[in-house]
Structure 1
Amino acid sequence: YDAVADADPAYLVMEYVRGGTLEPHTRPDRLLPIGDVLEMIFKCTRALDFAWRLGVIHRDLKPANIMRVEEPRNDGHHQPGTNVKVSDFGAAMSISASETKVSGVGSPAYMSPQQIKEHPLNHQTDIFSLGVVMYQLLTGQLPFQGSNNYSMMYQITHAEPVPPSAFRPELPPALDAIVMRALQKSLDDRYPTWDAFSFDLAEAFRGESLREQDNRIADSEKFNSLRRLAFFRDFTDVELWEVVRLGEWHRVAGGQMLLREGDAADGFFILAEGELKVTKARKLLNVLSAGECVGEMAWLTPEHGTRGADVSTLCESVVIHLANAALERASEPCRHRFDRAFLRILVERLALANQRLTNV
């Protein structure tokens, strides 16, 4: 947040993060729920992708360098959730820097084969290291073990690890596949991008084997859903994460009333999955599909105060409710994206209405 160089001693002002690191959860008797691990690793992939886009490679990823953030509860206390902060970029490397790169940095148990061999590095070295972290959080074991650092580094460069499910049989095959791909020794066989890694993590959470264990809508699923929706096509990843946190996400069965004409209006809804029908006086006005919004006039003209139509689900649907107060807390760039999206929708609706009038 700040750097003071003229003090004695000089010092840095940094963000205070309430919580601890992930290191305690690498013990077999303190493993986190599988869904929580996926959520946190997914969020690490997004943070590290952001760093990579800025030309930064971390080079020292390990559980002790990932903070698990404690979130405030309604009673004023805090509890750990699935939000994380990637910390300690002291060994990080800028790919655009002109100075000589320091070799031999990092923690041996988490180093990639390329890092051990002092080959040129890119983001895939961090993908390997995060794969080691994921393996350890899921099993309580390191994938490569040795009696000393040299033995461990030999294992990393020559041995194949056993799948995580060998230590934790309830792990689904999809997680074995993800971890083992992240731990591939060859860059050609490892995940080529952070996007590919995070996509597989989100898909694994959506899979039935994990849904049975955790029926909530995971942040990873929310983020990927937003990325697919046309409404959010101009939002940056940072702004999408804002929406993940600001919105209330609901999985609603088919045939349920979502909005009722005349009810007090607060905010609007965006359909992430499924179909909605809009009716007034029992007459069908519209059928909405994923990516469309409804009730936005409550945000654009809050003085009207009531809903103007009934809205119900035609099938099981996932809807995002953004209350006015929540959107007011959003950053100015994020609110600007919403305003532009609403303007685009208004133009599209006017064009459609004009076309219908022309065809009459």
Structure 2
Amino acid sequence: MNAAATDPPRTPGNTQLGKYRIESMLGAGAMGIVYRAFDPHIERHVALKTIRHELFESGERESLKARLRNEAQAAGRLAHPNIVGVYDYGETADTAYIAMELVSGHGLKQWLDAGRPLAAATALDWFGQLLAALGFAHEHGVVHRDIKPANLLVNAEGRLKVADFGVAHVASSTLTLTGAMIGTPSYMSPEQFTGEPVDGRSDLFSAAIVLYQMLAGCRPFAGASQAEVMRQVMHETPRMPSACNPALPSALDAVLMRALSRRPDARFQTANALRRALDVATDGTAHIATTAAEDDRTILEAQAVTLASGTGSWRGDSLPSLTMWPAALLAPVEAQLAAQIGPVARLLVRRAAARIADAPDLPALVALLAPHIPSDKGRAQFVAAFADASKAGTSRGPSPSSSLGAEDVQAAALRLAVYLGPIATIVAKREASRAASLRALHERLAAAISNEADRARFERDIGL
């Protein structure tokens, strides 16, 4: 389990549980509390998952113990590098516990709660590890039944591990009811909602929701209530992932839509089949490129898009119709969007502009881009910046020779955000306090861009 405890250490009244010495609390949930503990017999730290005392004292004692034993039975038979290992199960007079592998890292939920897409290379890498774990579990007769970001841990080395087999169904076990509706609504398959028997294809449906969220920055089914989520899962087809994140190739749309089919027999039947489909979808249609070592940003792009020298218009081999858009119109849109979501704004603007290249229209472009901003406040600021089309005119901003002012710093920060993302505002304010002139500020901001090609483009755009 996750070893990244941030709360002050808390321990039960007795700091010893069986042979384990309790050291601190790692987390708490509706069913139990997880502690960091030490096994003195083999001198190993473990995560100790216990049932809450108040629950254990209720009439649900036996069912809670059965669920915890089920988790130990399910995960204990699965020795795999992408599955949290279970070492021991025990009971005392006032609780039951399982000792498991202590994972130093964070839950995937922490990354996804920001509401932004992950770098595609990272998302696909983690998802591949998830598929490896699920494929292994299914081959050994175990269906997890509650795949969701909170149950997926990522350690410091980038290894993903599946945790919490508490509601798993083991083929040879009678500890769980196959007809029960068990899971987390936003990640449940249709057959889980209807209480039908589930198999590995249900886990793959839930896993596809996680991949969709990692790549698109939002969930495919996201109603305001559990009933609404259920209605969407049972009756609606979600938006294509690329509608949320135009940086995604259409081949990924096809894979995810099949993986999210309502009928189990229409989905990929095994984890390996889904993995092969993803390999095909990301080979040749798009490449996942990581920049030089000094620049750790990862982006998904179809082909390089450049600013045509001397034309004042956007063009590129992959998007030839962008020549209809004047550069002076797109540049501030890109800058404003980048201030909210980072460097991926460059690609999103080009993709959106290409969709309406036959009739360039600023309000339409803003409407296409606004949904990519996760926060309501940020989205409102972006739309307000272009409420009047004249705000996106051809002005390139203040002259480098002018004196420093708040507007100058903000304008420079917006241009810098194309390369550094939202942190650009902090960098610009910091450097403004050290610069004697606007030109000096621009030079200092250019120096903050580690990638040489990006730095050269920034210098050209800013007028250095």
| TM-score of the two chains, using structure 1 as the length reference | 0.53
- 1:245 maps to none
**Aligned-residue offset at 1:23:** 0.8
Distance across 1 between alignment mates of 2:214 and 2:103: 21
Higher relative strand content: 1
- 1:321 maps to none
In structure 2, the CA distance between the partners of 1:100 and 1:89, relative to structure 1 (3 Å rule), is closer
In structure 2, the CA distance between the partners of 1:47 and 1:215, relative to structure 1 (3 Å rule), is farther
- 1:94 maps to 170
- 2:130 maps to 44
8 Å CA contact retained: 1:132, 1:183: yes
Spell out the pairing of 1:136-151 with structure 2 (5 A cutoff).
136-151=213-228
- 2:111 maps to 25
In structure 2, the CA distance between the partners of 1:208 and 1:29, relative to structure 1 (3 Å rule), is same
Distance across 2 between alignment mates of 1:87 and 1:9: 21
Spell out the pairing of 1:200-239 with structure 2 (5 A cutoff).
200-212=277-289
Spell out the pairing of 1:140-219 with structure 2 (5 A cutoff).
140-212=217-289
Q: Gapped runs of 5+ residues in structure 2?
A: 1-86, 294-464
Deviations 1:281-304 (A, max 9, x none): xxxxxxxxxxxxxxxxxxxxxxxx
SS at match of 2:203: helix
8 Å CA contact retained: 2:127, 2:211: yes
SS at match of 1:176: helix
Distance across 1 between alignment mates of 2:216 and 2:161: 22
Residue type matched to 2:123 in 1? V
Deviations 1:200-242 (A, max 9, x none): 22333433512456899xxxxxxxxxxxxxxxxxxxxxxxxxx
Distance across 1 between alignment mates of 2:282 and 2:292: 10
**Aligned-residue offset at 1:195:** 0.9
8 Å CA contact retained: 2:116, 2:216: no
In structure 2, the CA distance between the partners of 1:21 and 1:69, relative to structure 1 (3 Å rule), is same
| TM-score of the two chains, using structure 2 as the length reference | 0.42
In structure 2, the CA distance between the partners of 1:90 and 1:100, relative to structure 1 (3 Å rule), is closer
**Aligned-residue offset at 1:62:** 0.5
Q: Gapped runs of 5+ residues in structure 1?
A: 72-80, 217-360
Spell out the pairing of 1:1-360 with structure 2 (5 A cutoff).
1-5=87-91, 9-27=95-113, 30-71=116-157, 81=158, 83-99=159-175, 101=177, 103-212=180-289
Deviations 1:257-315 (A, max 9, x none): xxxxxxxxxxxxxxxxxxxxxxxxxxxxxxxxxxxxxxxxxxxxxxxxxxxxxxxxxxx
Distance across 1 between alignment mates of 2:130 and 2:89: 26
Distance across 2 between alignment mates of 1:128 and 1:206: 23
SS at match of 1:188: helix
Distance across 1 between alignment mates of 2:200 and 2:128: 15
Deviations 1:19-71 (A, max 9, x none): 10111222455432101101111111110111111111111111111001112
Deviations 1:328-358 (A, max 9, x none): xxxxxxxxxxxxxxxxxxxxxxxxxxxxxxx
- Tell me which of the two structures has the higher relative contact order, counting C-alpha pairs closer than 8 angstroms and 6 or more residues apart: 1
Distance across 1 between alignment mates of 2:227 and 2:215: 25
Distance across 2 between alignment mates of 1:111 and 1:202: 25
Distance across 2 between alignment mates of 1:185 and 1:150: 17
Deviations 1:80-105 (A, max 9, x none): x2x20011111101122245515121
Q: How many residues are treated as equivalent by the alignment?
A: 206
Residue type matched to 1:69 in 2? N
Distance across 1 between alignment mates of 2:161 and 2:207: 14
Distance across 2 between alignment mates of 1:29 and 1:105: 26
Distance across 1 between alignment mates of 2:96 and 2:175: 23
In structure 2, the CA distance between the partners of 1:204 and 1:214, relative to structure 1 (3 Å rule), is farther
8 Å CA contact retained: 2:117, 2:217: yes
Distance across 2 between alignment mates of 1:214 and 1:163: 28
Distance across 1 between alignment mates of 2:166 and 2:287: 36
Residue type matched to 2:262 in 1? K
**Aligned-residue offset at 1:145:** 2.2
- 2:396 maps to none
SS at match of 1:130: helix
8 Å CA contact retained: 2:181, 2:193: yes
8 Å CA contact retained: 1:35, 1:214: no
Aligned CA-pair RMSD: 2.2
**Which has more radius of gyration?**
2
8 Å CA contact retained: 2:252, 2:281: yes
**Aligned-residue offset at 1:5:** 3.2
8 Å CA contact retained: 1:58, 1:89: yes
**Aligned-residue offset at 1:182:** 0.9
Distance across 1 between alignment mates of 2:171 and 2:244: 37
Question: Identity rate of aligned residues, in percent?
Answer: 39
SS at match of 2:266: coil
8 Å CA contact retained: 1:56, 1:95: yes
